[in-house]
Structure 1
Amino acid sequence: MAEHNELGKKGEELAIKFLIDKGYKILEKNYRYLKAEVDIIAQKENTLAVVEVKTRSSDYFGNPQDFVNPKKIKLLLSAIDYYVNEKDLDVEVRFDIIAIIHQKTIKIEHLEDAFLHF
């Protein structure tokens, strides 16, 4: 497996542990719908958190969250719309980014309602 794929997988594992520690229930990992892939779908109380995980080995080229583009957001919106309808869920939906910088130490930042800024 390519090194960046291993880093991404490790980042998703760290994000899942982080969310569980914060009281979230993990509903789906790597949920796919058409061309979209949602890294994590988690729930806490009546909120469904749609989580995009971005992991980088440094912030030299920018913060991890800066790499979520409008095309990715559009794909995530369509995937979660389908998911909520398919499961007949009555929840609030929130789009989050978990940004991880994995160097000698690990820095995790949870950005709730991250897409409000796009």
Structure 2
Amino acid sequence: MAAKDDLGRAGEDRAARYLTDSGYEVLDRNWRCAQGELDIVARRGGWLAVVEVKTRRSLAYGHPLEAVDARKRRRLWQLAHAWALDNGGRIHGLRIRIDVIGIVGTDPAVGQLEHLENLS
């Protein structure tokens, strides 16, 4: 399990660097509450992006973006609203959206990264 945790952590680190390099301000990482955890919360322009990061070594079990199904999106929206309530002063005037970053490769630092913005 440690290897899987290390892979996930490395993927989240890569995703946070990618977002920062793309002009986002990372506000929170691995935020937890009773309902679950958000990987990354970031702001750019008028948007607050709740970013789910999925990292896989290969496509043997499908593309990582496929893991964010309708049930997972509903949960992310619930967590996004919980984060917003907990951080009200930091989101004034921002629209909230759900993003997903998928990384595929044995080394997440150089693996293929895809960013899907504003999932419904």
- Residue deviations 1:93-114, cap 9 Å, x none? 110000000236510000111x
Choose from 93, 97, 101 the match for 1:98. 101
Shift of 1:80: 1.1
- Residue deviations 1:28-75, cap 9 Å, x none? 000112131100000001100100000000012211011123333222
Q: How does 1:70-81 map to 2 (within 5 A)?
A: 70-81=70-81
Question: Which residue matches 1:53?
Answer: 53
Give 5+ residue unaligned stretches, structure 2.
none
1:112 alignment partner AA: E
Question: Which residue matches 1:108?
Answer: 113
Question: Which residue matches 2:9?
Answer: 9
Shift of 1:83: 1.8
**Whole-angstrom distance in 1 between the partners of 2:2 and 2:106:** 17
**Whole-angstrom distance in 1 between the partners of 2:34 and 2:77:** 12
TM-score normalised by the chain length of structure 2: 0.87
**Whole-angstrom distance in 2 between the partners of 1:42 and 1:30:** 12
Identity rate of aligned residues, in percent? 36
TM-score normalised by the chain length of structure 1: 0.88
Give 5+ residue unaligned stretches, structure 1.
none
Question: Which residue matches 1:86?
Answer: 86
Report the CA distance shift for 1:34/1:71 in structure 2 as closer, same or farther (over 3 A).
Answer: farther
Would you identify which runs of 4 or more consecutive aligned residues in structure 1 move more than 2 Å?
69-75, 85-90
